[in-house]
């Protein structure tokens, strides 16, 4: 029995493999634990730009009219930790941990 390979079949297989192989590398990745990440310094230029504070209760409501009571990193969609953790990673501050009680201007409600 002869197996014939068409150019179309080879190209389709190559395209499929080019998406599958990188995906396999993502499967085994483990997210860094918050304890492994250094804490975000509130004086960091990006933190200052985003109005980051260590405790949401200390947010200046006049300077941040979007702030509402009850908002914190723990209930923000950018937060990478669980609500029960005291610290976690943040999408906005890569490689740094933020306190779950913190807040910044990019806070978005968890869907």
CA distance 59 to 9: 60
Geometric angle at alpha carbon 98, from 95 and 100, rounded to 5°: 145
In the CATH hierarchy, which top-level class contains the domain 32-99?
few secondary structures
- The band of 68, judged by pLDDT with boundaries at 50, 70 and 90, is very high
- Between 20 and 101, the higher pLDDT residue: 101
With a cut of 50, say whether residue 75 has pLDDT above it.
Answer: yes
Confidence (pLDDT) at 108: 92
CA distance 40 to 44: 7
| Domain coordinates in residue numbering, the chain | 32-99
Could you identify the residue written with the tokens 């990745």? 29
Confidence (pLDDT) at 24: 57
Interval 25-48: pLDDT, tens: 555 444 555 567 899 999 999 999
Could you identify the residue written with the tokens 């109005």? 51
Interval 84-96: pLDDT, tens: 888 999 999 988 9
CA distance 91 to 97: 10
- Between 79 and 27, the higher pLDDT residue: 79
Q: Please tell me whether the overall predicted TM-score, pTM, comes out greater than 0.75 for this model.
A: no
- Structure-token pair, residue 100: 């779950």
């Amino acid at each position: 029995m002869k197996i014939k390979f068409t150019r179309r079949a080879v190209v389709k297989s190559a395209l499929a493999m080019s998406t599958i192989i990188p995906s396999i590398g993502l499967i085994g990745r483990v997210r860094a634990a918050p304890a492994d990440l250094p804490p975000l310094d509130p004086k960091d230029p990006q933190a200052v730009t985003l109005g980051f504070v260590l405790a949401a209760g200390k947010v200046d409501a006049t300077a941040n009219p979007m702030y509402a009571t009850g908002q914190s990193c723990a209930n923000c969609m950018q937060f990478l930790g669980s609500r029960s953790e005291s610290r976690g990673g943040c999408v906005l501050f890569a490689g740094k941990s933020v306190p779950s009680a913190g807040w910044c201007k990019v806070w978005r409600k968890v869907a």
